[in-house]
Amino acid sequence: MATANNNLSEYDKASIPNAKDFRFGIVVSEWNSEITEGLLKGALETLKEHGAEDDNIVVWHVPGSYELIYGAKKMQEQMVNAVIAIGSVIQGETKHFDFVCEAVAHGIKDLNVNRDTPVIFCVLTDNNLQQAIDRSGGKHGNKGTEAAVAAIKMAQLEKLA
Per-residue confidence (pLDDT) for residue 159, from 0 to 100: 77
Residues of the chain below pLDDT 70: 1-8, 161
Report how far residue 100's alpha carbon sits from residue 81's, in angstroms, rounded to the nearest whole number: 26
85-115 pLDDT per residue, tens: 999 999 988 888 888 989 999 999 999 999 9
**CA-wise closest residue to 35 among 112, 125, 120:** 125
Per-residue confidence (pLDDT) for residue 76, from 0 to 100: 97
Per-residue confidence (pLDDT) for residue 5, from 0 to 100: 56
Per-residue confidence (pLDDT) for residue 145, from 0 to 100: 96
Report how far residue 95's alpha carbon sits from residue 92's, in angstroms, rounded to the nearest whole number: 8
Per-residue confidence (pLDDT) for residue 55, from 0 to 100: 97
HEC per residue, the chain? CCCCCCCCCCCCHHHCCCCCCCCEEEEEECCCHHHHHHHHHHHHHHHHHCCCCHHHEEEEEECCCCCHHHHHHHHHCCCCCEEEEEEEEECCCCCHHHHHHHHHHHHHHHHHHHCCCCEEEEEEEECCHHHHHHHEEECCEEHHHHHHHHHHHHHHHHHHC
Q: What is the pTM of this model?
A: 0.93
Active site residues: 96
